[in-house]
Amino acid sequence: METPDNTPEAPSPTGIAAQDWATASADPQYRAAVVDLLGALAYGELAAFERLAEDAKLAPTLGDKAELAKMASAEFHHFEQLRDRLSAIGAEPVEAMDPFVAALDGFHKQTAPSDWLEGLVKAYVGDSIASDFYREVAARLDSDTRSLVLAVLDDTGHASFAVEKVRAAIDADHRVGGRLALWARRLMGEALSQSQRVVADRDALSTMLVGGVADGFDLAEVGRMFSRITEAHTKRMAALGLAA
Amino acid sequence: METPDNTPEAPSPTGIAAQDWATASADPQYRAAVVDLLGALAYGELAAFERLAEDAKLAPTLGDKAELAKMASAEFHHFEQLRDRLSAIGAEPVEAMDPFVAALDGFHKQTAPSDWLEGLVKAYVGDSIASDFYREVAARLDSDTRSLVLAVLDDTGHASFAVEKVRAAIDADHRVGGRLALWARRLMGEALSQSQRVVADRDALSTMLVGGVADGFDLAEVGRMFSRITEAHTKRMAALGLAA
C-alpha cells in the first residue's frame, strides 16, 4: 500500500522491458534468471502460506484467526500462479524453487515469532521488503513476466490489518513499541544476510541484477535500489510507531 | 470418494427435508439446530485448514508440501462459504462456532500426529468420518441448508492422495501398518468421545438428531447411523491395508 505501483525512477520500457517473453527468452541467460526469480518468488509464497497459517494459531480471537487463514490462502493462490507459469515456460517448478529453500527456511527459522504481535510485524515487514524488491526488479523484466510478478504482489490486505493491530497494541502499552522496534531491526538484518547468500549462489539471477544482461542493473544502481528499500522500510516503521 | 453422494437408505424428502430454509426456519428450534450445525462445520473447516497447514511442514518433498497447502486452502474456502451462510441467516459466525472450539481443539490436541504418515491417516480418517456424519444429517435438512452442506463436503482430493501415500509406505515396510492401525483406532476413540461431549452440551442439535424435531432421527436411528459410520470406517481401514 505504501509502495506506489511504479517507482518514480522507473524508465519507460526499453531493451528487455519492451519485449514479450517469447522474444526475451531467446537469450538463455535471461531465461535462467527469470526461472530463478519465479522459483524464489514461488517458494516465498509457499513459505508465506505456512508462516501465516502458523501465526493463525497465535491469533487472540476466532475473527483474527479467520483473517490470517484468508491471507494464507491468498498466498497459496499466488504460489499456484507462479508454479503454473514455471510449468508453462517448460521449467520444473520444484527444481526452480529448490535453490531458495535453504535461505528462506533459514530466515524463518532464525526469526520465529514468539507471540502474535511479533508474527504480525514479521509478516508486514517481510512482505513489504519482498514487494519493494520484486517491484524494482519487475521494471526490468519482459512484459509477460512483469505482469505476473506485479499480479502476485497485489496487496492481500495484510498490511492494513497488521498496522491497525500493532498500533492499537502500542497505544495500549508503550513498552511494546520498544520491543517490536528491536524485533523489526533483527528481521531486516536477517533478511539482508539471507539475500546476500542467495545472490552469491545464483549466477544468472545476480548477473541480471548487476548488469550482465542488457538493460539489467549496474552495480551502482543495485546500491541505490537497496537504499530505496531501506528508506521505505524506515518510513513504514515510523508509520507503525516504531523507531527503525 | 468411498461414500456415495446419497446413502442408499435416504428416504425421498418429506417434512423438513421437503421444505426450503424460509419455511423450515420458522421453527425456532430447527433454526437453532442449523446454526449449531453450520457453526460446528465452519469451525471444523477452520481447524482442518490449520491441521493441514501444520502437516504441510512435515511433508517429505516440496511437491507433497504444495499438495497439502492446496487442500488447506480448499478447506479455508469451505469455511468462507459456511461463515457467509451464517451471516446471511442472521447468525454471528464467531458466536456460532464458539461452542465447538473446545471439543475440536481438544480432539486435535489429543491426537497431534508425530510424523507425516500419522498426519495423513488422521486427515483421511477424520475427514471421512466427518463427511459420513454430515451426509447422514444432510438428508434431514431443509433443501437450502442441505445443498450447502453437501457442497462443502465435496472431496478436496485428500482421500486419494492419503491412500496412495500410506499404501506405498506400508508396502515398503510392513511394520508401519501395525503402528498406523493402532493410531487409527486411537483417532476413532477420541473422535467418539469428543462427539459425545458436543451432543451432551448442545440441546437444539441433539434434539434434532434424536427426533425432537419433526422428521429428525429417533434414538434407534441414531444408533444405526453410528453403526453405518463405524462400518464405513472399518472398510476404509481395510482398503488402506490397516486392520481397524
Chain A partners within 8 Å of B72 (Cβ): 49, 53, 72-73, 76
DSSP state of B10: P
What is the reported pLDDT for B11? Answer: 52
Q: How far is B53 from chain A (nearest CA, A)?
A: 6
Q: Tell me the mean pLDDT in the region A134-157.
A: 85
What is the reported pLDDT for A37? Answer: 92
CA B8, B13, B15, B16 dihedral sign is positive
Chain B partners within 8 Å of A99 (Cβ): none
Which residues of chain B approach chain A closer than 8 Å at the C-beta?
43, 46, 49-50, 53-54, 56-57, 61-63, 65-66, 69-70, 72-73, 76-77, 79-80, 83, 94, 97-98, 101
Shortest CB distance from B57 goes to which of A50, A65, A101?
A50
Chain B partners within 8 Å of A98 (Cβ): 62
Cβ of A73 within 8 Å of Cβ of B70? The answer is: no
Largest CA distance in chain A: 57
Residue A175 has pLDDT above 80, yes or no: yes
What is the reported pLDDT for B208? Answer: 74
Give Cα B185 distance to the centre of its chain.
17
Cβ of B66 within 8 Å of Cβ of A79? The answer is: yes
Q: How far is B159 from chain A (nearest CA, A)?
A: 20
Average pLDDT value over all residues in chain A: 84
Residue of higher predicted confidence among B205 and A163: A163
When scoring A57, A61, A62 by the number of chain B Cβ atoms within 10 A, the one with the most, hence best to mutate, is: A62
As to burial, measured by CB atoms within 10 angstroms (0-12 exposed, 13-18 middle, 19+ buried), residue B58 is middle
Residue A214 has pLDDT above 80, yes or no: no
- Cell representation of residue B83: 461463515
As to burial, measured by CB atoms within 10 angstroms (0-12 exposed, 13-18 middle, 19+ buried), residue B2 is middle
- Which of A240-244, B151-155, B193-197 shows the lowest per-residue confidence on average (mean pLDDT)? A240-244
- Which of A50-59, A173-182, A200-209 shows the lowest per-residue confidence on average (mean pLDDT)? A200-209
CA–CA distance, A209 with A223 (Å, rounded to integer): 11
3-state SS assignment for residue B83: helix
What is the reported pLDDT for A132? Answer: 86
For A93-111, the pLDDT digits (tens) are: 999 999 999 989 988 888 9
Residue owning grid cell 451432543: B199
What is the reported pLDDT for B91? Answer: 97
Nearest residue of B to residue A95, measured between CA atoms:
B62
Share of residues in chain B with pLDDT > 90 (%)? 37
What is the reported pLDDT for A3? Answer: 46
Chain B partners within 8 Å of A57 (Cβ): 50
Chain B partners within 8 Å of A49 (Cβ): 53, 56, 69, 72-73
**Cβ B139 vs Cβ B6: under 8 Å:** yes
* Beta-carbon contacts of residue B242 (< 8 Å; ≥ 6 apart): B121, B170, B177, B180, B181, B184
What is the reported pLDDT for B13? Answer: 67
Long-range contacts from A163-166, C-beta under 8 angstroms, 24+ separation:
A163/A124, A163/A239, A163/A240, A165/A64, A165/A117, A165/A120, A166/A117, A166/A120, A166/A121, A166/A124, A166/A240, A166/A241
Q: Which of B229, B198, B226, B204 is nearest to B216 (CA)?
A: B204
Residue B4 has pLDDT above 50, yes or no: no
Residue A183 has pLDDT above 50, yes or no: yes
Domain B27-239 has CATH 1.20.1250.20: no
Size of interface A-B (CB pairs under 8 A): 70
Residue of higher predicted confidence among A63 and B239: A63
Q: How far is A229 from chain B (nearest CA, A)?
A: 30
Shortest CB distance from B56 goes to which of A50, A73, A80?
A50
Residue owning grid cell 499404501: B167
When scoring B46, B62, B95, B100 by the number of chain A Cβ atoms within 10 A, the one with the most, hence best to mutate, is: B62
The stretches of chain B forming alpha helices (DSSP H) are 21-24, 28-56, 62-88, 93-110, 116-138, 143-152, 158-172, 175-201, 203-210, 219-239
What is the reported pLDDT for B156? Answer: 62
For B211-225, the pLDDT digits (tens) are: 655 455 566 777 777
Confidence band for B204, pLDDT divided at 50, 70 and 90: confident
Q: How far is B111 from chain A (nearest CA, A)?
A: 16
Cβ of A54 within 8 Å of Cβ of B56? The answer is: no
C-alpha distances in Å from residue A220, one per residue of A9, A216, A223, A224, B26: 14, 12, 5, 6, 72
Shortest CB distance from B77 goes to which of A46, A50, A73?
A73
Which amino acid makes up residue A137?
Answer: V
CA B103, B105, B108, B111 dihedral sign is negative
Average pLDDT value over all residues in chain B: 84
Q: Tell me the mean pLDDT in the region A150-155.
A: 81
What is the reported pLDDT for A210? Answer: 66
Confidence band for A35, pLDDT divided at 50, 70 and 90: very high
Q: Tell me the mean pLDDT in the region A157-162.
A: 80
What is the reported pLDDT for B2? Answer: 45
When scoring B52, B65, B100 by the number of chain A Cβ atoms within 10 A, the one with the most, hence best to mutate, is: B65
For A59-74, the pLDDT digits (tens) are: 999 999 999 999 899 9
CA A55, A57, A61, A64 dihedral sign is positive
Confidence band for A2, pLDDT divided at 50, 70 and 90: very low
**Cβ B89 vs Cβ B35: under 8 Å:** yes
Count the neighbouring beta carbons within 10 Å of the beta carbon of residue B189: 12
What is the reported pLDDT for A87? Answer: 97
Q: Tell me the mean pLDDT in the region A135-148.
A: 89
Residue B127 has pLDDT above 90, yes or no: no
Residue A159 has pLDDT above 60, yes or no: yes
As to burial, measured by CB atoms within 10 angstroms (0-12 exposed, 13-18 middle, 19+ buried), residue B221 is middle
* Beta-carbon contacts of residue B104 (< 8 Å; ≥ 6 apart): B43, B44, B47, B194
Residue of higher predicted confidence among A27 and A3: A27
Q: Which of A69, A49, A47 is nearest to A58 (CA)?
A: A69
Residue A1 has pLDDT above 50, yes or no: no
Residue B1 has pLDDT above 50, yes or no: no
Q: Tell me the mean pLDDT in the region B226-244.
A: 81
For B37-84, the pLDDT digits (tens) are: 999 999 999 999 998 898 888 899 999 999 999 989 999 999 999 999
Q: Give a three-class secondary structure readout of chain A.
A: CCCCCCCCCCCCCCHHHHCCHHHHCCCHHHHHHHHHHHHHHHHHHHHHHHHHHHHHCCCCCHHHHHHHHHHHHHHHHHHHHHHHHHHHCCCCHHHHHHHHHHHHHHHHHHCCCCCHHHHHHHHHHHHHHHHHHHHHHHCCCCHHHHHHHHHHCCCCCHHHHHHHHHHHHHHHCCHHHHHHHHHHHHHHHHHHHHHHHHHHHCHHHHHHHHCCCCCCCCHHHHHHHHHHHHHHHHHHHHHCCCCC
- CB crowding A106-132: b at 16 or more within 10 Å, else e: ebbeebebeebbbbbbbbbbbbbbbbb
| ipTM of the complex as predicted | 0.74
For B147-192, the pLDDT digits (tens) are: 999 988 876 677 788 888 999 999 899 889 989 998 998 888 888 7
